[in-house]
Amino acid sequence: MRNLRGRLTLLVLAVLTGILAVAGVLVTRDVGRSERRVIDDRLRRTADLSLASAQSALQEGLPGVDKRLDAVLRATGSSLRLSLAGKPLVQSGASLPKDLQVPLGFSTRHIDGRDVRLYATSLRSADLGGLARLVVGSSLRQVEHRQTALRRKMLGLGALMLLVSGLGVFFAADAILRPLKRLRGATARIGGDGDLHERVPVDGPLELRGLAGDFNDMLVRLERSADERAAALAATRRFAADAGHELRTPLTSVQASLSIIARHPGMDPAQRTQLAEDALADQRRLVHLLDGLQALARGDANPVEHASVDLGEVVDAALQAARTRHPDVTWEADVAGAEPGGALVVRGWDPGLRLLADNLIGNAARHGRPGGTVRVTLGPDGPGGAPVLTVEDDGDGVAPEDRERIFEPFARAAATDGPGSGLGLALVAQQVGHHGAAITVDTSPALGGARFTVRWAPQRTAPSNVTAKAAKPSGV
């Protein structure tokens, strides 16, 4: 009985056995008392009806034994005795011991291997002084036989009830435990397949529904943890592959420049200076590449908590930094969040949104005309609408065939020959995906160059965290 069904059956049978045993004892005891009460009533009535005859017999002379009465009494196992001062004068029916002393009232004696119920009363005569007594008795054998038969019937009925109840509970337990079997099968299937996306059915009794809900919550946490580990591993592999691929060329260039300088100590100073400047430029490119790769891997691997972020403050801070880095660019800005009371608040990760704004604005400054114009606009998409960020430049723009490819890591437009690692727009696409936004690129009608537009979706409730890998933005 190691399974739950067997234990449940045994427990129910044990409870039913106790209930039936107590009920049987109470029933047999009550029936026995009722039958004894009937015998006591009969003995009292017999004595009351015999008192006048017994008193008359003592006063007028002892009569002879009535044979018919004696036969009837013997057939029923009853006795009648009239005694004076303890000595029997008249006795009819079943014999009683001559020396039997019977107290007044009801009593039970064991006589000749049988229990006898006795009732004794004294004759109401002032002359006799209570010495004359009338004793009426009746055997309890038939009552005991009926009690024994009743006990056997109750034992048989109880055993049958227990058997039927046990079978009913055994088969009913299968229906009761069926949701638990389904839960066990689902958990075994999930454990065997390793598919943390599957969920166990939430049905059955309240306790099983609670257990299934807790198990599903655990699966959600395990799935999130597995996704985080997978994302971290993928980001690590991507970082290693990208670093090995992209850093080889600048490292080779730095090595070649330093090798030439080391092998030709007497070269022209101007040439030496040029080689040193080329090596320094390659070193800066290495640092920039490493920073971009780390940011890309960190954005893919680490789940972050979202909070309320004022996009106006983020874009305004990015503009201030861009003005410092690119003082020759003419900046046109219309940032609603920078005005008092005009904040556009979204749920997001502040460093990620700053990374998005920095790269979009920096990309426009680098790829626009030298000393050209960059326009940055931030505002709601209609009254009470979601935020829209637009960054425009006056450069050559992005060809339609390149407008999707430029958001891939290390990808650059075919007509682009300016500085850059090819990671800036990949970081923008990554953060757009993490924040549930969408980015599009087209031609600026005012400046003639590229126009990047980021639209946030209306956010009524904010997710607690973001763990999914950034998807390719729609419309890119």
* Distance between CA atoms of residues 134 and 465, nearest Å: 102
DSSP β-ladder status, 437-443 and 450-456: antiparallel
* Distance between CA atoms of residues 16 and 22, nearest Å: 10
DSSP secondary structure letters along 58-105: HHH-PPPP-HHHHHHHHHTTEEEEEEETTEEEEEEES---TT----SE
Length of the chain: 476
**CATH code at 4-167:** 3.30.450
CATH architecture of 305-466: 2-Layer Sandwich (3.30)
Helix (H) or strand (E) holding 106: strand 105-111
pLDDT of residue 319: 92
Burial 407-418 (b: 16+ CB within 10 A, else e): bebeebbeebee
Helix (H, G, I), strand (E, B) or coil at 114: strand
pLDDT of residue 394: 93
Contact present, 158 and 24 (Cβ < 8 Å): yes
Task: Tell which phi-psi region holds residue 384, choosing left (phi > 0), alpha (psi between -120 and 50) or beta.
Answer: left
pLDDT of residue 440: 94
The structural domains of the chain, with segments of one domain joined by +, span 4-167, 180-246, 305-466
pLDDT tens string for the chain (476 positions)?
Answer: 567 778 878 888 888 889 988 988 888 888 888 888 888 888 888 888 777 777 676 666 555 556 666 676 676 677 877 777 767 777 777 777 877 788 888 888 888 778 888 888 887 765 665 677 788 888 888 888 888 888 888 889 888 988 888 888 888 877 777 777 777 777 777 777 667 777 777 776 777 777 788 888 888 888 887 777 777 677 667 666 655 555 665 677 778 888 888 888 888 888 888 888 877 876 776 676 566 566 656 655 555 667 889 999 999 989 998 998 888 999 999 987 555 555 588 888 888 888 889 889 989 998 899 989 999 999 998 777 889 999 999 999 999 988 888 888 766 555 555 555 567 788 888 889 888 899 999 999 999 999 999 999 886 544 333 333 333 333 32
pLDDT of residue 462: 40
- Cα angle 435, 437, 439 (rounded to 5 degrees) comes to 130
DSSP secondary structure letters along 289-316: HHHHHHHHHHHHH--EE-EEEEHHHHHH
pLDDT of residue 62: 57
